[in-house]
Structure 1
Amino acid sequence: MEIKRFNEIDLKDCFFDSLKEDYPGFDTWYNKKATAKETAFIQKDSSGNLQGFLYMKNEDEALLDITPNMPEAKRLKVGTFKIDAHNTKLGERFVKKIVDKAIFDKVEEIYVTIFEKHEALIKLLEKYGFKKYGTKGEGATPELVFTKKMNTISGDLLSDFPLITTTGKRKFVLSIKPEYHTKLFPDSILVNEKGDKESLVKDISHTNSIHKIYLCFMEGTELLQKGDILLIYRTTDGLGPARFRSVATSVCIVEEIKRPSDFKTEAEFLKYTNAYSIFNEQDLKRWYRSSKAVVIKMTYNAALYKRVTRGQMIDFGVDEEQYWGFFQLTDEQFDKILEKGEINESLIINKA
């Protein structure tokens, strides 16, 4: 994924043909954005062909050209959003980019207009909490309007993404070695003691995806349940004492837990784990042959703006002598770590 100015992207690319067909005047609109030096997120394949395009803008006025009208509110408009059909994982990465910006800009809701014929894109948006609101335009085929509220919880893990409900939820620390953490999570936040908050919105690494799959042997992880909260803990990089070099970095929510025995065949196991895992196929085959392996599928909901060290976690009451690979946190310990990590408060609903 790249961030490019409109004038750096070739409007003659066949990728834009369907947009030109759907929206008369698209060329004029595009050229205005190019003149204004506005930017968009794009994705190209290995041959340099466009696969995805995303343009967003903030609005706060009443929307009277939508039926029913939408009152004044702080909104993020998804102005143009297209991905090549059947590229589900790419679509998820773009959706994450949309909600990342919405959280950073502290908007009340996101909205997007889309023609009904784009069924795959509508299905993707609905999966992550966008709901049909109304229509825009005249004629027999107006655009549909979909909105996603950024301050309400439905109880569905994916629809609510990236919001985190903490009340009544179990919280655990899950440790990950640096070489795996680098592959699984964007590491920009670890460069300095306090990262640039905007860098999380601009992060375009391939690791910045909604879903993660991690495999491990750590005792107790097999007892995790859907909805459990995981505080990701990157173990020491060896450049100093663990008290200062081991850090809490991110918050995830468990989607499901599986064992190799839950899969009928090796091929089924590989298909499931390959999508979001950091391991190559040969490694995954070895994992499949181990009956003790635990497969953790989770959503990547938030990065801590400020890393929280092992020493600080101990100061918050975490037992220094226990095994730090996997253990449960109290509500108070979890809240203190998030506060120290300066997590965006709008992500936390019903904070314990």
Structure 2
Amino acid sequence: MKILLDTNILIQRENNHVIPENLAKLMRLLNGLENCSLHVHPLTKQEIMKDKFDERKNVNLSKSNTYSVLEKVPNYLDDNDFKNSLPEPKSENDIVDNQLLYCIARNICHYLITQDQGLLNKASSLDIENVVNINEAINIFKKCYPNVDIPLGNNFEIKKVFELNYNDKIFDSLKETYKGFDKWWYSIQNRDTYVYFNTDNIINAILIPKIEHNEIISESPLLKKDKILKICTFKVAEHARGLKLGEKLINLAIKFAENNDIGEIYLSHYIEENDYLVNLIEQFGFKYVGNKGNNEAIFIKSIYTNKNIVINSHTEVLNYDKTFYPSFYDGNLVRKHLVPIMPVFHKKLFPDSQADVHQLELKLFENSEGNCIKKAYVCRANTTKINKGDILLFYQSKNRMALTTIGTVLGVYPKMSDPEEVFKLIAKRTVFSFEEIKKWCRKELLVILFNENFHLNREVKLPELSKFNIEGNIYSIREIQDEQYRQIIKGNIDERFTIH
């Protein structure tokens, strides 16, 4: 496995200062892997050469020699399709970033590790999954150690504002950016917050919601809402990015809106260059709608809509599912499938699935696949009937023998047999270790990427399925008829969140 290191990783690793804890952990993981090599791009040395401080430059150059420099690299400027998919470069750094991305797109290296948020955002916009930050890389490569379990000591709970440490570093940028933050903070001391702590009681992520009535949320253009959920604070600490905490906070905000019968969510934000938050929320349907008087950007999201929308194509299905997530289209343009999953993997992939009506889920899970909205399912089924936008009804086999969860398909990848290619595709989203994937790849695999949309209000057990003419146990993916699907979901999900 070939790993490409961006300049910012190299400098953190090799400079004469204490190495960040997460980078040290990553390097231990990488150094312990068999057939894993670390590389730098030829342009990385050119970047180091630009350093005006000769002593530091010479030290970094000498230490960069401990990594293998890629000898032959493709030039993205020779690939018109790739070049045209990118924004026009504004600097030499943009060109270097594009060359690094092209090495990954062309499979010169399996992964690129970087802390450059702009580069991560660009990779996300191109659907290049295997460009990752340090924490994402840790989560991926620890799966190559199937017998190693690294406890993270996570704790996620409801706290009143007055119970939080105002001097926690997570608030530093908010104090700098938002005038009057101090006054606002001390005016909401009794408000509930949703907070993720690490073992040292440091805040790694925080969500502060507020229900607003008859509120002007945008002044340019003028936009007023009768009832809407405002996300007052949505923050993931930089050192905690890559653990899918942002997706978990989005999920919490949506659940909060559902529980309070609110159809829209908004937040205000000063947009920065290479903005982490904007890149994240736009993936789940938040749209820029205007500005406040202080030039603060307003992003709004609907979680359901009226039933008058007409959908005529699969492209419109996918656009609807993204824009109004967790709502989804379940009409005749999409198929419905029962998908079996073993208990051990069900617990990891859907850890908050319960038999009773689901309340706001506050538990944060050790493995990031349990926190994320976008997930992956791997099996040996040879079905060719699954397409983007289709509906998946997950059936926990063996002890539970019941349907528990609904998801919608984002991508389908049949007949995959290269374990490294499979791992690249699913490592951010899956419950499988690399060793498990290698064993699975002895035969061709089907990989399905999907969104988790809802858990059923009441799990549907196997005997009940026979009432819907679904006979026998569920051993492999099985398509069901629309009428059978309607019987399963009746009373089991809030049908405001479906359109057909």
Say whether the fold is shared (TM-score over 0.5): yes
Instruction: Give the distance between the partners of 1:203 and 1:308, measured in 2 at CA.
Output: 24
CA 1:336–1:117 in structure 2 vs 1: closer, same or farther (change >3 Å)?
same
Query: CA contact under 8 A between 1:4 and 1:40: conserved in structure 2?
Result: yes
| AA aligned opposite 1:66 | E
**4+ long deviations beyond 4 Å:** 45-48
Secondary structure of the 1:129 match is coil
CA 1:126–1:64 in structure 2 vs 1: closer, same or farther (change >3 Å)?
closer
* Match of residue 498 from structure 2: 348
Note if 1:234 corresponds to 2:234: no
113, 122, 135: which is aligned to 2:291?
A: 135
| AA aligned opposite 1:218 | A
312, 334, 343: which is aligned to 2:485?
A: 334
Residue 324 of structure 1 and its aligned partner are, at CA, apart by 4.4
* Match of residue 240 from structure 1: none
The Cα offsets for residues 182-224 of structure 1, whole Å up to 9 and x where unpaired, read as 111034522xxxx1432xx23423224211112112342x542
* Match of residue 120 from structure 1: 276
Instruction: Give the distance between the partners of 2:298 and 2:417, measured in 1 at CA.
Output: 40
* Match of residue 218 from structure 1: 381
Note if 1:284 corresponds to 2:437: yes
Residue 68 of structure 1 and its aligned partner are, at CA, apart by 2.6
191, 197, 213: which is aligned to 2:358?
A: 197
CA 1:234–1:322 in structure 2 vs 1: closer, same or farther (change >3 Å)?
closer
CA 1:158–1:269 in structure 2 vs 1: closer, same or farther (change >3 Å)?
same
Instruction: Give the distance between the partners of 2:277 and 2:217, measured in 1 at CA.
Output: 25
Note if 1:315 corresponds to 2:464: no
* Match of residue 96 from structure 2: none
Query: CA contact under 8 A between 1:103 and 1:347: conserved in structure 2?
Result: no
Instruction: Give the distance between the partners of 1:126 and 1:65, measured in 2 at CA.
Output: 18
Moved more, 127-136 or 151-160: 151-160
Query: CA contact under 8 A between 1:259 and 1:291: conserved in structure 2?
Result: no
Residue 79 of structure 1 and its aligned partner are, at CA, apart by 0.8
237, 241, 246: which is aligned to 1:87?
A: 241
Q: TM-score, normalised by structure 1?
A: 0.84
Secondary structure of the 1:70 match is strand
Q: Which has the higher contact order (CA 8 A, sep 6+)?
A: 1
Instruction: Give the distance between the partners of 1:123 and 1:311, measured in 2 at CA.
Output: 44
* Match of residue 173 from structure 1: 338
* Match of residue 413 from structure 2: 258
Residue 15 of structure 1 and its aligned partner are, at CA, apart by 1.4
Secondary structure of the 1:61 match is strand
Instruction: Give the distance between the partners of 2:477 and 2:495, measured in 1 at CA.
Output: 25
CA 1:46–1:271 in structure 2 vs 1: closer, same or farther (change >3 Å)?
farther
Count how many residue pairs are aligned between Structure 1 and Structure 2: 326
Residue 45 of structure 1 and its aligned partner are, at CA, apart by 4.5
Residue 110 of structure 1 and its aligned partner are, at CA, apart by 0.9
Q: What RMSD in Å do the two structures reach over aligned CA positions?
A: 2.4
| AA aligned opposite 2:424 | K
| AA aligned opposite 1:121 | L
Structure 2 unaligned spans of 5+: 1-155, 310-315
The Cα offsets for residues 12-46 of structure 1, whole Å up to 9 and x where unpaired, read as 01211110111122223222322x2x222223446
| AA aligned opposite 2:361 | K
CA 1:18–1:143 in structure 2 vs 1: closer, same or farther (change >3 Å)?
same
Alignment of 1:267-282 (within 5 A): 267-282=420-435
Moved more, 116-125 or 172-181: 116-125
* Match of residue 241 from structure 1: none
The Cα offsets for residues 295-344 of structure 1, whole Å up to 9 and x where unpaired, read as 121100011111111111211222x2475432111111111111142x12
290, 303, 327: which is aligned to 1:163?
A: 327
Residue 270 of structure 1 and its aligned partner are, at CA, apart by 2.3
* Match of residue 186 from structure 1: 351
The Cα offsets for residues 154-207 of structure 1, whole Å up to 9 and x where unpaired, read as 6424333211101121001001122211111034522xxxx1432xx2342322
